[in-house]
Structure 1
């Protein structure tokens, strides 16, 4: 339930007062691990990470100046895959920051890296692969990048994303 309040706070206040970043810039938003965000092991529960990531990606779009534009176009973001590496836990009542950035794209998907940092220490790193859809059809990546106002070449994907992408393809082929 508290994530609904955080979503409302994000949409009504934070996106109106956010800084501006470029398309490949790093977005930063901070939160505090409330008791209801934590599990019986007294740390941020694994199921909360994706929820905070959703909020952080929404905020990233706002900082890029794209949130309202994409909403008007009726483009909805869809996560296709995510890969988590938990490094250190986040304890109750601790502040943490979610850092999000677009690290690249290919012919079909865009890739976002999200980092959870608390007390100047990396706690979790996540790679997300996604698309935007409109009327149940995928928005072409070239259209999305053009609408974002980016006219440079696609950045080279980080090596770990390249390997993850190959792993996802292998899983797909083996399970058809």
Structure 2
């Protein structure tokens, strides 16, 4: 239930009072780990990371100035794959930031890096791969870039994302 409250708070307050970043800028959203976010090991449970990441990506789109426009167009983000590396735990009541950044795209997917950071340092780094869909059809990356009027050079995908992308392709080939 507390994520519904956080989602409501995100739309009711934070989205209306957010900073502005460019398409390749870093978005930062702060939260506190509540006891209801933690498991029996007294740290943020693994299932909360993707839920917080969803909220952070929504906030990132808002900071980019794209959330309202994409919702008006009926474009909904869908995550195709995610990978996590957990480094250190987040304790109950600890405040942490989620840093989200678009790191690149290819002909089909966009790639976002998200980091959980606190005063103790890096807790988790995750990458997500996704698409936007409208009426059950994928919105081409070229249409997304045209809609946001992105004219700069395409960034090169980070090495770890390129290797992850290759690994996902290998898994797909072996399981079809």
**TM-score exceeds 0.5:** yes
2:135 aligned with 1:132: no
1:33-84 deviation digits (Å, cap 9, x = unpaired): 0000000000000000000000000000000000000000000000000000
**Separation in structure 2 between the aligned mates of residue 147 and residue 85 of structure 1, nearest angstrom:** 33
What corresponds to 1:47 in structure 2?
47
What corresponds to 1:69 in structure 2?
69
1:1-176 superposed matches below 5 A: 1-176=1-176
1:141 Cα deviation from its structure 2 partner: 0.3
Structure 1 ranges of 4+ moved more than 2 A: none
**Separation in structure 2 between the aligned mates of residue 96 and residue 148 of structure 1, nearest angstrom:** 30
1:154 Cα deviation from its structure 2 partner: 1.2
Q: Secondary structure at the match of 1:13?
A: helix
1:148 Cα deviation from its structure 2 partner: 1.8
**Separation in structure 2 between the aligned mates of residue 120 and residue 68 of structure 1, nearest angstrom:** 35
Count, aligned residues: 176
Q: Give the gaps of 5 or more residues in structure 2.
A: none
Q: Give the gaps of 5 or more residues in structure 1.
A: none
**Separation in structure 2 between the aligned mates of residue 19 and residue 118 of structure 1, nearest angstrom:** 20
